[in-house]
Amino acid sequence: MVTELAVCLACHQDRPRSAEEIEAAVWPARKGGHGVSMDAVRQHLSRLRRALGYWASVRTPA
């Protein structure tokens, strides 16, 4: 899931995304509820930041 999250964020660099937008894009809702919990979204974001290390804090100039 970390790879899918990275692809989603890379494809939508034009503005920050909310956890709800990320959830909808990466984990489509299952019948009768959400795809994953917000805690799971945060955990995957944290794993992605750790995997990227230094590069997670680098921003390109606008």
Q: Is residue 61 part of a domain?
A: no
Q: Is residue 38 part of a domain?
A: yes
What is the helix (H) or strand (E) element at residue 9, kind and residue range?
helix 2-11
CA distance 43 to 61: 28
> pLDDT (tens digit, 9 = 90+) per residue, 15-46?
888 888 888 888 776 555 556 777 888 888 88
Q: Is residue 35 part of a domain?
A: yes
What is the helix (H) or strand (E) element at residue 50, kind and residue range?
helix 38-52
Q: Is residue 29 part of a domain?
A: yes
Q: Is residue 62 part of a domain?
A: no
Name the residue range of residue 42's domain.
Answer: 2-56
pLDDT exceeds cutoff 80 at 2: no
For the chain, the domain total comes to 1
Q: Is residue 47 part of a domain?
A: yes
pLDDT of residue 31: 53
pLDDT exceeds cutoff 80 at 11: yes
Cβ–Cβ < 8 Å for 26, 4: yes
